[in-house]
Amino acid sequence: MADLLIELFSEEIPARMQARAAQDLRQRMTDGLVEAGLTYSGAVAHHTPRRLALSVHDLPDQSPTRREERRGPRVDAPDKAIEGFLRGAGVTRDQLQERDDKKGRVYLAVIEHPGRPAADIVAEVLETVIRNFPWPKSMRWGAGSLKWVRPLHGIVCILTDDTGESRTVPLEIDGITAANTTRGHRFMSPGRITVSSFGDYAARLRAGKVMLDADERAAHIRQEAENRAFASGLELVDDPGLLAEVAGLVEWPVVLMGEIGSDFLDLPAEVLQTSMKEHQKFFSVRNPATGRIERFITVANIEAPDDGATILAGNQKVLSARLSDAKFFWENDLRIVRERGLEGMAEGLADVTFHRKLGSQADRVARIEALAREIAPLVGAKPDLAAEAARVAKADLQSEMVGEFPELQGVMGRYYAQAAGHDDGVPEACEEHYKPLGPGDAVPSAPVSVAVALADKIDTLTGFWAIDEKPTGSKDPYALRRAALGVIRLVLGNGLRFGEPLEWSFARILGMQVVGHLIGYKGQVLRERIGNLAERLDTVGFGEVGEKIEADILDRNLPSKLPPEERQELSETTTDKTFDLLAFFHDRLKVHLRDEGIRHDVIDACLAMEGSDDLTLLVKRARALSDFLKTDDGENLVQGFKRANNILTQAEENDGVEYSFGADPKFAESDEERALFAALKQADTAIQPAMGSEDFAAAMAAMAALRAPIDAFFEAVQVNADNNVVRRNRLNLLGQIRATCLAVADLTRIEG
Burial (CB count <10 Å: 0-12, 13-18, 19+), residue 152: buried
Closest by CA to 432, choosing from 412, 449, 454, is 449
Residue 414, pLDDT score = 96
Residue 608, pLDDT score = 84
Q: Give the three-state DSSP class for 296.
A: strand
pTM of the model as a whole: 0.78
Contact call for residues 385 and 424 (beta carbons, < 8 A): yes
Task: Give the number of other Cβ atoms within 10 Å of residue 304's Cβ.
Answer: 13
Q: How far apart are CA 345 and CA 662, in angstroms?
A: 69
Residue 714, pLDDT score = 86
Residue 730, pLDDT score = 85
Name the packing angle between helices 523-530 and 506-519 (round to 10°).
110
256 phi and psi angles, rounded to 5 deg: -130, 145
547 phi and psi angles, rounded to 5 deg: -80, 170
Region of residue 678 (left: phi > 0; alpha: psi -120 to 50; beta: else): alpha
Chain-centre distance for alpha carbon 109: 53
The secondary structure of the chain in percent helix, strand, coil, rounded to multiples of 5, reads: 55, 15, 30
Chain-centre distance for alpha carbon 355: 25
Contact call for residues 663 and 732 (beta carbons, < 8 A): yes
Q: Give the three-state DSSP class for 154.
A: strand
Chain-centre distance for alpha carbon 375: 28
Residue 520, pLDDT score = 65
Closest by CA to 734, choosing from 669, 644, 673, 621, is 644
Chain-centre distance for alpha carbon 182: 40
Q: How far apart are CA 630 and CA 645, in angstroms?
A: 21
Burial (CB count <10 Å: 0-12, 13-18, 19+), residue 236: buried
Single-letter amino acid code for the residue at 214: A
Helices (H), 595-667: 600-607, 615-629, 632-655
Residue 356, pLDDT score = 87
Q: Which helix (H) or strand (E) holds 412?
A: helix 411-419
Region of residue 175 (left: phi > 0; alpha: psi -120 to 50; beta: else): left
Q: Which residues of the chain have a pLDDT value below 70?
A: 499-504, 520-563, 566-567, 752
Q: How far apart are CA 346 and CA 363, in angstroms?
A: 12
Single-letter amino acid code for the residue at 378: L
Q: How far is CA 267 from CA 294, 509, 624, 685, in A?
A: 10, 41, 50, 66
Task: Give the number of other Cβ atoms within 10 Å of residue 292's Cβ.
Answer: 16
Q: How far apart are CA 40 and CA 4, in angstroms?
A: 10
Residue 535, pLDDT score = 40
Rg of the chain in Å (alpha carbons): 36
Residues 6+ apart with CB under 8 A from 82: 72, 73, 93, 107
Q: How far is CA 2 from CA 45, 65, 68, 117, in A?
A: 17, 18, 27, 12
Q: How far apart are CA 238 and CA 387, in angstroms?
A: 36
Helices (H), 558-614: 564-594, 600-607
Residue 479, pLDDT score = 92
Closest by CA to 160, choosing from 122, 208, 191, 205, is 122
Q: How far apart are CA 644 and CA 604, in angstroms?
A: 20
Residue 744, pLDDT score = 87
Contact call for residues 643 and 669 (beta carbons, < 8 A): no
Chain-centre distance for alpha carbon 394: 26
Q: How far is CA 539 from CA 433, 461, 507, 566, in A?
A: 30, 20, 10, 18
Closest by CA to 452, choosing from 477, 488, 426, is 426
Q: How far apart are CA 636 and CA 629, in angstroms?
A: 9
Q: What is the largest CA-CA distance in the chain?
A: 104
Burial 585-598, CB ≥16 within 10 A → b, else e: bbebbbebbeeeeb
